Amino acid sequence: MGRAVKRPFIGLTAAVAALGMTVSLAGCGGDGGSDGVTLRLVAADYDVAGGESSKKYWADLTAAFEAEHPGIEVDVRIESWNDVDRTVAEMVKAGDAPDIAQIGAYADYADDDLLYSADQLLSIPVQSNFLVPLTDAGEQQQTQYGLPFAASTRLLFYNKELFAEAGIEKAPRTWGELAADARSLKAGTDATYPFALPLGPEEAQAETMMWLLSGGAGYTDAVDTYQIDSKANVATFEWLRDNLVEPGLTGPVAPAELNRKDAFAAFTRGEVGMLNGHPSLMQAARNKGVEVGAVALPGRDGQSKSSMGVADWIMGFKENGHREEIGEFLDFVFSDDNVLAFAGQNDLLPVTVSASEAMEQDPEHRDLKEFLAELPESELPPVGKTSWAAVSESIKKKVGQAVAPGGSPAATLGAIQRDASAAEAAE
């Protein structure tokens, strides 16, 4: 929500790696010689299976770049998602910032004036090719510092076989239809979770935002100030408590204790009737024999007016003074071939207009068409605000209480709002 509506989560983010690894992908490494420059890049590992697809992607890309730019070498260090943000933070604190970092958040570094802005790095055609919500999400004080590297959106996933068993003929478009379908799944199938509602500490801020958007509001208002305990948001959580949780439609694990990875794993085992999911889950479920349907998230009275987008970021640090070389490399990174190669390899969405159009027309990626349709108008969590990390942690710890037995959405969201106001005042 660069303004109130377009910022990235991350937390979000999108593909958590099972294993970490640190490797050098440059041809020669070292200092690049007296007449050359070696750029140091720290990147996240997106291979959730613990393979080497991220290593191969960067190895192929840097080899092609170095062949075209003989005076520049790129040394790539890959870290797991568990470690990559901390690794970069430690390097920066030690006065040894990388030239380029591909990580989960950029806001603190931009706020400390450590990053080059997009217009200092990228050619005009490349900078203007980013999808608008992602450009807005990468801005701080109307200047773009975060360059979107990977994106995804969220859809409502449902198990077609369980829907057929329950006699449900079409996917829900409203909250009322969703609750009715969950009741039918509970009564007519052996689904463990008619609707899985993961509000546990792993990714509660993402699940929360999806519901706030479908209820017509969100985390921030029109001037980018937190409005977490707004009337609309409180009403959303009251509906969840009264219509899904208390009737026993969210399964045996309390939403406050259900993490996203566990809900996703249950879906791939055929135990979940419906949940909110991202592109990578679709392929994982189908690989396990689950017949998956996916539609836009239902809203209170119809299809949600906007869906949640998620982005990960790449950025250039000023410390080593390699602005021109960083810019040349990033222009290369954002070519259509490279953007499409990474997105396709990881079941993610392209971050540029031209690559998105190419993917939409490619039959090989027809499963991503609905996700692509949601991205241009999606809204992203406010990671551009330096307060977001603290606010996100507050949401993870507290929001599940709002739907617990005897829980008060107004009290819980009010407590989170107080945390958010304090964090925002300290920005």
pLDDT in tens, 271-309: 999 999 998 898 889 999 999 999 999 999 987 778 899
395 burial via Cβ count (<10 Å: 0-12, 13-18, 19+) = buried
Residue type, 74: V
Is domain 155-306+387-425 given the CATH code 3.40.50.300 in the classification?
no
Of the candidates 93, 143, 92, the one whose C-alpha atom is nearest the C-alpha of residue 101 is 92
What's the maximum distance between 2 C-alpha atoms anywhere in the chain? 73
Phi, psi of 38 (to 5 degrees): -110, 120
Q: What's the whole-model pTM score?
A: 0.82
For position 16, what pLDDT does the model report? 31
193: its two tokens:
């979770």
For position 280, what pLDDT does the model report? 85
Beta strands 147-153 and 100-103 are unpaired
* Summary mean pLDDT of the chain: 90
**Residue 13 pLDDT > 70, yes or no?**
no
pLDDT band at 397 (very low <50, low <70, confident <90, very high): very high
**Residue 72 pLDDT > 80, yes or no?**
yes
pLDDT band at 47 (very low <50, low <70, confident <90, very high): confident
Of the candidates 193, 212, 304, 213, the one whose C-alpha atom is nearest the C-alpha of residue 257 is 193
For position 386, what pLDDT does the model report? 93
> Which strands form 37-44's sheet, in the order they lie side by side?
72-79, 37-44, 100-103, 309-316, 147-153
How many whole angstroms separate alpha carbon 249 and alpha carbon 179? 8
CA distances for 368 relative to 173, 350, 351, angstroms: 20, 11, 14
For position 49, what pLDDT does the model report? 61
pLDDT band at 3 (very low <50, low <70, confident <90, very high): very low
Residues 233-274 pLDDT 10s: 999 999 999 999 999 999 999 999 999 999 999 999 999 999
pLDDT > 70: what percent of the chain?
A: 91
Is the CB of residue 272 less than 8 Å from the CB of residue 192?
yes
Residues 19-34 pLDDT 10s: 334 343 443 333 433 3
Class of the CATH domain delimited by 37-153+310-377: alpha beta
Residues 153-196 pLDDT 10s: 999 999 999 999 999 999 999 999 999 999 999 999 999 999 99
Residues 328-342 pLDDT 10s: 999 999 999 999 999
**Residue 408 pLDDT > 90, yes or no?**
yes
pLDDT band at 4 (very low <50, low <70, confident <90, very high): very low
- 3-class DSSP state of 72: strand
For position 12, what pLDDT does the model report? 30
pLDDT band at 35 (very low <50, low <70, confident <90, very high): low
Q: DSSP label at 30?
A: T
Matching fold, domains 37-153+310-377 and 155-306+387-425: yes
Is the CB of residue 379 less than 8 Å from the CB of residue 305?
no
Q: Which residues of 260-288 are buried (b: 16+ CB within 10 A; e: fewer)?
A: bebbbebbbebbbbbbbbbbbbbebbeee
Percentages of the chain per state (helix, strand, coil), in multiples of 5: 45, 15, 40
The alpha carbon of residue 278 and the mean position of all alpha carbons in its chain are separated, in whole angstroms, by 9
pLDDT, average across residues 119-139: 96
Phi, psi of 141 (to 5 degrees): 55, 45
206: its two tokens:
């993402």
pLDDT band at 141 (very low <50, low <70, confident <90, very high): confident
Annotated domain spans of the chain: 37-153+310-377, 155-306+387-425
CA atoms within 13 A on the CB side of 75: 13
9: Cβ–Cβ under 8 A, 6 or more apart, which residues? Answer: 205, 206, 209, 308, 310, 380, 381, 383, 392
Distance between the two ends of the chain, CA-based, in angstroms? 17
3-class SS letters over 282-341: HHHHHHCCCCEEEECCEECCCECCCCEEEEEEEEEECCCCCHHHHHHHHHHHCCHHHHHH
Is the CB of residue 40 less than 8 Å from the CB of residue 75?
yes
H or E, element range at 209: helix 204-214
Task: For CA atoms 417, 419, 420, 425, give the dihedral sign.
Answer: positive
For position 417, what pLDDT does the model report? 98
Q: What is the CA radius of gyration of the chain?
A: 22
How many whole angstroms separate alpha carbon 185 and alpha carbon 239? 19
pLDDT, average across residues 348-358: 96
C-alpha dihedral, 115 to 116 to 119 to 120, nearest 10° = 180
pLDDT > 90: what percent of the chain?
A: 78
Count how many residues are written for the chain.
427
18: Cβ–Cβ under 8 A, 6 or more apart, which residues? Answer: 47, 48, 49, 50, 80
For position 48, what pLDDT does the model report? 62
